[in-house]
Structure 1
Amino acid sequence: MRLLVIADPPEDFKIHKDSTYAMLREAARRGWALWLCEAADLRVSQGVVAAQARPFGFTDTQEYRRWFELGTPADMALRDFDAVLMRTDPPFDQQYLYATHLLTLAQWQGARVFNPGQALRDFNEKLAILRFPEFIAPTTVTQRAADLRAFLAEHGDIILKPLDGMGGRGIFRLTRHDPNIGAIIETLTDNGQRTVMAQRYIPAISEGDKRVLLIDGVPVDWCLARIPQPGETRGNLAAGGTGRAQPLSARDREIAAALGPQLAQAGLLLVGLDVIGDFVTEINVTSPTCFQEITQQSGIDVAALFIDALARRIAA
């Protein structure tokens, strides 16, 4: 099996928790031939989508920057691999958008891409929740300060977030009595030039922002509840949250049962739902994480489940 993984530079991987690292480890354990490239290595040559890809292998050390080895780069068509994994981290900026278009073209040429370029474009990680209104807290999307002020006046305690961030960056909690309402709204909307999302604050964040992983529409039986630090609103691990693996609740399973088949039908092999209390707050499709944390605390081999699903998709 020949697998190309489009990812950020491997020297930047935090291998003790990186999910792409876990995927690569499991694929290597099965004897798959692994290749690596970055999104910047994608190109079109004579009408064919190709990449300057390098053979990838593991070394016998876990030392920083020495745990992997890369071979000589070669210009290879994406359709010549058995599968292509898109694992480049957000933000979903203009360059990322261009990469998704190249991935779509590659699919037309016969490549098997996961998650597919079209699905990555269709499912903005913040806006995608609006497809499932019965599972979300009160939400508004706008670039107008007056709309945000009205939403704040109605709900009293809200979360503001940019539409292209990750790891909790740029997220603000705002109450009616905050002295910085105007400054925060002006900053996030770039004085009315940028669209943002506002959601009613969910007090259950104190119990964790749960990452529920869906693999080909089926939920992993345990999730990772990311608990905010004292005095912090954000549970994201990148913002200092503590990860606690736990079995899915009945509500988690209800959400997964409703969303999973639709997301899989859209071609999304791997999705990370963010669930706070009873509500879905984000649908992560670009580079969902938390494999290693769930595996280490639950004993569920998430990477093996994912590679099993990938192998089934390839065979199909």
Structure 2
Amino acid sequence: MKIHLGIIMDPISLINIKKDSTFAMLLTAQERNYIIYYMESKDIFLKKNKIYGKTKYLTVINNQKKWFSFSNKKITLLSTLNVILVRKDPPVNIEFIYLTYLLDKLKKENVLIINNPTSLRNYNEKLLATNFPEIIPKTLMSKKISEIKKFLHKYKDIIIKPLDAMGGKSIFRIKYNDENKQVILETMTNNGKKFCLSQEYVSDIKHGDKRILIIDNYIVPFCLTRIPQEGENRANLAVGGIGIVNKLSSQDYMIANQVLPFLKKKEIIFVGLDVIGNKLIEVNITSPTGICQIEHFSNISITKKLFFFIENKIVDQN
């Protein structure tokens, strides 16, 4: 059976193929002889109650100078595809929300969509972890500066971050005696008009922030541990963190297994958990990364595991 795969992503011309998880997926899909239909969110539209895309056939090449080519540009009725991978990076803004409404309609037409568009819309990555209060740091979501100050007063050392960013953008550590705390809170909340997430600082960050990947029921036994540079509170690779691949600990498995039933129920297939010490920090479901680094230092093909799942699911649906 020839599988027709749609990919919705940010411009492929801008990616770094050495560490881009979407590119790793595309290479494996091509190896498995999938027909790949490239789209950006702007290419998708509804007409006469059908969902279409301005698509191009995509060919990928593992070459840093020229890593893709397009052919056969056309309008495609997206219900004719077998599967669509949604790999649009945050922010999850109103345009992203509108996209999930269109994808919801496709899901009802028996197109496999990863991840479930209803869940992409309903579950903010920063807030999803609050469904597991026993394994997260003490947490406050508020736009009121006075409430955040009370939270800071109680826990003395906190992290504050926006709800709609990625890659460590606009994440601040504030200690109780920080002379800049007022201006940080004013900036982060837009003077009390914007929600932010505050969490008790987890000192284990010095040992790294673990990215644990899950595909359906499968917990990848290796994780990408991102260690912050000296003097930096953020471990994200995008801001200079150092990535090391480690085997999962028993504690890591405990955390992953606690989250797994929720993910299964909500049809969230490909997930990246962020764990610091024994605390779950975030549940990444929009476009989790870490595949390239883990595959490079282990003998596991995460992308093949993903496509085995996809192929079995398509057979079950048909």
**TM bin (shorter chain):** over 0.9
| 1:80 maps onto 2:80 in alignment | yes
Extract unaligned runs of 5+ from structure 2. Answer: none
Amino acid at match of 2:38: L
Partner of 2:24: 22
**How far is the alpha carbon of 1:79 from its aligned partner?**
1.2
Sequence identity percentage: 36
Distance 1:68 1:248 in 2: 34
Q: Name the aligned partner's letter for residue 10 of structure 2.
A: D
1:209 Cα deviation from its structure 2 partner? 0.6
Q: Is the 8 A contact 1:217 1:263 kept in 2?
A: no
Q: Tell me which residue corresponds to 2:220.
A: 220
Structure 1, residues 234-267: CA drift from partner, whole Å, max 9, x if none?
0001111011110111111001111112202211
Partner AA of 1:234 in structure 2: R
Q: CA deviation at 1:105?
A: 1.7
Kindly indicate whether residue 296 of structure 2 is the aligned counterpart of residue 296 of structure 1.
yes
TM-score (norm 1): 0.97
Q: Structure 1: how far apart are the matches of 2:91 and 2:60? A: 28
Counterpart in the other structure of 1:246: 246
User: Match for 1:3 among 2, 5, 13?
Assistant: 5
Q: 1:52, CA displacement in angstroms?
A: 0.6
Tell me the CA shift for residue 108 of structure 1.
2.1
Note if contact 2:38-2:58 (Cα within 8 Å) is conserved in structure 1. yes
Larger mean CA deviation between 212-221 and 194-203 belongs to 212-221
Between the aligned partners of 1:217 and 1:160, the Cα distance in structure 2 is 32
Q: How does 1:113-192 map to 2 (within 5 A)?
A: 113-192=113-192
TM-score (norm 2): 0.96
Instruction: Name the count of aligned residue pairs.
Output: 314
CA distance in 1, matches of 2:5, 2:230: 42
CA contact (8 A) 2:228 2:242 kept: yes
2:111 alignment partner in structure 1: 111
In structure 1, give the amino acid aligned to 2:13: E
Structure 1 residues not aligned, in runs of 5+ = none
1:117-174 Cα distance to aligned partner (Å, 9 max, x none): 1010122100111111111010011110011000000000000010001000010000
CA deviations on 1:201-249 (whole Å, 9 max, x unpaired) are 0000011110000101321000100000110000001111011110111
Contact 2:9 2:86 in 1 (8 A): yes
Aligned twin of 1:41: 43
Q: CA deviation at 1:299?
A: 2.4
Bigger Cα displacement from structure 2, 91-100 vs 103-112? 103-112
Equivalent-residue separation in structure 1 for 2:289 and 2:254 (angstroms): 21
Amino acid at match of 2:125: E
Contact 2:26-2:60 at 8 Å conserved across structures: no
Counterpart CA distance in 2 for 1:265 and 1:218 is 15
Structure 1 distance, partners of 2:26, 2:159, is 36
